[in-house]
Amino acid sequence: MLNTGTELLLGNTLNTHGAWFGRELFKLGLRITRQTTVPDGDAIREALEESVSRADAVIVTGGLGPTSDDLTREITAEVLGIELITDEAALRSLEAFFAVRGLKMAPSNLKQALVPVGADVLPNPNGTAPGVYVPPRLNGRANCAVFLLPGPPRELYPMFHDEVVPKLKALSGIESFPPALELKFTGVGESDFHQQIDAQLAAVPGLEYGYCAHVGEVDLRLIGEEDAVRSGRQIALDAFASKLVSDDGSSLERVVVRLLTERNIKLATAESCTGGLIANRITNVPGSSAVFTHGFVTYANEAKVDLLGVSETDLEQHGAVSEPVARQMAEGALRVSGADIAVSITGIAGPSGGSEEKPVGTAWIGLAMKDRPTLAIKVYHPRKRKDFKQAASQSALDWVRRRLAE
Amino acid sequence: MLNTGTELLLGNTLNTHGAWFGRELFKLGLRITRQTTVPDGDAIREALEESVSRADAVIVTGGLGPTSDDLTREITAEVLGIELITDEAALRSLEAFFAVRGLKMAPSNLKQALVPVGADVLPNPNGTAPGVYVPPRLNGRANCAVFLLPGPPRELYPMFHDEVVPKLKALSGIESFPPALELKFTGVGESDFHQQIDAQLAAVPGLEYGYCAHVGEVDLRLIGEEDAVRSGRQIALDAFASKLVSDDGSSLERVVVRLLTERNIKLATAESCTGGLIANRITNVPGSSAVFTHGFVTYANEAKVDLLGVSETDLEQHGAVSEPVARQMAEGALRVSGADIAVSITGIAGPSGGSEEKPVGTAWIGLAMKDRPTLAIKVYHPRKRKDFKQAASQSALDWVRRRLAE
């Protein structure tokens, strides 16, 4: 894949084409072997020459507009050694595009109807730039299919689905696609996977796998034939079953909301150090309003006392970041909200406020349930403020998940 | 720039490195001439060979982890024809990283201390993978500087600023950088800038400028000689002064916390549709605990009644997303918390719950202050759930900012 556009390299525009095409092509059983971004203008020449000599198909985005630095069409024809001619049908639909909008077409738009001789024009109902498909047989120098597509997503996405997908299916001859699985784990690091199961995964014939580490989470991706993926999944579960959040790509908060909904259980939150992040994550999930009613952000000690009934004596004696305070926050949230389960967290996000006994990164989680003893768990995430909050919210939500899954 | 990572090409992870590096390098007067993404593993070899023969400096991200598909270090040494040795200092800090967390280092982590002979180790206080800098003089085959950096932004960004920027400055020989300014605006769209001030900005001699649009925010970057930047700033302020959040890159939440701190004013929040996001954003700012004490996430109607004293009659007559409820939520939060200012928000995040009269994306914001009349403002952000929450929190925080700035 070759993306052209100076704005992508200056950071004005985030290049979302890579991720979008990655997902769409993966569904077709195809992989991007390399993605390259070059500025507008002549830089595309060398990149395209390299690409067509390396790949079975090249998708180029951008540079099909009417301005002087839109050179994708011209340079592609040169690189492939094919002449450009005006396509009459493309010209008529270009004229129609302007006529429908009551606009006069500028002479500069004429070049948008130019097409390499013998190539297919891909209609663009959403903009002025038609796409181009050069089949491998036309390409004298390399046996490579070339697609030229417009850059703006609103023009690109429909053209990809309507025009490019059928051609890619025909080119690849693939009828059905290998299964893929994404397993999310929390409370375990990427290096644990490497140490404990990497060798076993590598030994499964036909299995491709990869890790992606986020704050407080490791995603394991398994790709291959059904048997291979099943074996890979079993290896991961044998080692880390209790750490598994989901095997369908669902986020931890989505899994928690799903468990609450299935069990018809209501959750309340009482947050100090995470400052509302846990509630925010839960309410990112559509349908969370059925199971989440009350959230308390008790950032100050007075708030813990006033809203949740935490004991002032315990706050003084043990400090806000302590087991009794975490317990009382969770129990207070349960009582005040009338929920069935309440999770609390109190900790030191930093950068200041740490001590030798309670360094920055320390947090206590409380978990209260009706008619069940309250739990309190100490965690330690020595990270920067925002990462600490994310990791701490991850720990708290995971304790809710485990309690619900019991 | 060379980004490695199968997850980037499969579409699991959006490649934000391109845009981020583009912006950061632009500030240094440097440009990315080409950005390439390759999968984990051996594919980096050919891409790196091409890059070092083409560029003055190559930045490689990813593939520095402990797993078997993390090969950036090994392949770079091969391509540059330099042997790898264990760096003692890197090894010690790696051991310390695990020791501090009470963890045992896996043998697989040992390879993370490998460095090409003579190269510089770039410390990584935020992760296990140290960076590597290979100066051009070590590089026998091409006069090209090579930086190997970790992929995760929380490790990459600090390392870039602390370690890479000084080396790039020295390499490029640029002593002073043209002044750059980032102005953040909210409540105005990128197309407003294009229509109203693009032509004026383009006419300022020696001024480079660019926009970066986020949900509920547009950043305008101005680069050039001092006079040019000053003129650009004036043009933007003449058009959009009331929409300016900051001219030093500060986020809206940081500006709000700064204003609260300066005025010694305490804020409380009462959130329905944003579900804790406003509190979360405020508590992302270090020092916010001095000015933010109580946050209420009253997601259900009962919570609005129980915690904030919202009238049940008004909830029934006007619905939860209404002016009187927004007002009463803000006034209730002010009263219960004892804060000096309280902001509330109640709206329809979707995907369901909308009606013809109150479509998904509608929200009411309430703003209560001691001894001042309460304000209520209706906003409309018809977006996907998470973007709606972000845009709605942006509107609410901006009203706090404007009220404080009066």
Separation in Å, CA of A5 to nearest CA in chain B: 11
**A10–B20: do the CB atoms touch at under 8 Å?**
no
Q: Which residues contact B316 (CB under 8 A, 6 or more apart)?
A: none
- Tens digits of residue pLDDT in B234-261: 999 999 999 999 998 899 999 999 999 9
Picking from A8, A284, A384, the nearest residue to B386 by CB comes out as A284
| Residues B79-117 as b or e (16 or more Cβ within 10 Å = b) | bbebebeebeebbebbeebbeeeeeebbebbebbbbbbe
Residue of B nearest to A279 (CA): B276
Q: What confidence category does residue A178 fall into, taking pLDDT thresholds of 50, 70 and 90? A: low
- Return mean pLDDT, chain A: 91
Residue of B nearest to A12 (CA): B212
- Tens digits of residue pLDDT in A90-131: 999 888 888 887 778 888 788 899 999 999 999 998 888 899
- Tens digits of residue pLDDT in A47-58: 999 999 999 999
Q: Which CATH architecture has domain A252-405?
A: Alpha-Beta Complex (3.90)
Picking from A37, A43, A279, the nearest residue to B275 by CB comes out as A279
The pairing of strands B131-134 and B145-149 is antiparallel
> Is the pLDDT score of A40 beyond 90?
no
Percent of chain B residues topping a pLDDT of 70: 97
The residue written with tokens 């394991």 in the block is A220
Domain at B180-246, CATH from 3.40.50.720, 3.30.70.2860, 3.20.20.70, 3.40.960.10? 3.30.70.2860
> Is the pLDDT score of B370 beyond 80?
yes
Widest distance between CA atoms in chain B = 80
**Contacts across the A-B interface (CB distance below 8 Å):** 285
pLDDT of residue B176: 64
Domain at B2-172, CATH from 3.75.10.10, 3.40.50.10090, 1.10.760.10, 3.40.980.10? 3.40.980.10
Beta bridge partners of A3: A37, A61
**A26–B10: do the CB atoms touch at under 8 Å?**
yes
pLDDT of residue B143: 84
Same fold, A2-172 and A252-405: no
Residues of B in contact with A336 (CB under 8 A): 306-307
Residues of B in contact with A267 (CB under 8 A): none
pLDDT of residue A203: 95
- Tens digits of residue pLDDT in A230-245: 999 999 999 999 999 9
- The set of long-range contacts for B107-111, using a CB threshold of 8 Å and a minimum separation of 24, is B107/A195, B108/A191, B108/A194, B108/A195, B108/A198, B108/B66, B108/B67, B109/A191, B109/B66, B110/B86, B111/B66, B111/B73
- How much of chain A is in helix, strand and coil states, percent to nearest 5? 45, 20, 35
The pairing of strands A84-86 and A114-116 is antiparallel
A277 touches A271 (CB < 8 A): yes
Percent of chain A residues topping a pLDDT of 70: 98
Mean pLDDT of A17-39: 87
The residue ranges of every structural domain in chain B are 2-172, 180-246, 252-405
pLDDT of residue A139: 76
Q: Which residues contact A87 (CB under 8 A, 6 or more apart)?
A: A113, A114, A115, A121, A130
Structure token digits, residue A196: 């404990």
Query: Within a 10 A sphere around the Cβ of A136, how many other Cβ atoms?
Result: 14
Q: How far is CA A181 from CA A136, A188, A249, A257, in A?
A: 33, 19, 8, 21
Nearest to B56 by CA among B31, B22, B80, B75: B31
Spell out the SS3 assignment of B314-329: HHHHHCCCCHHHHHHH
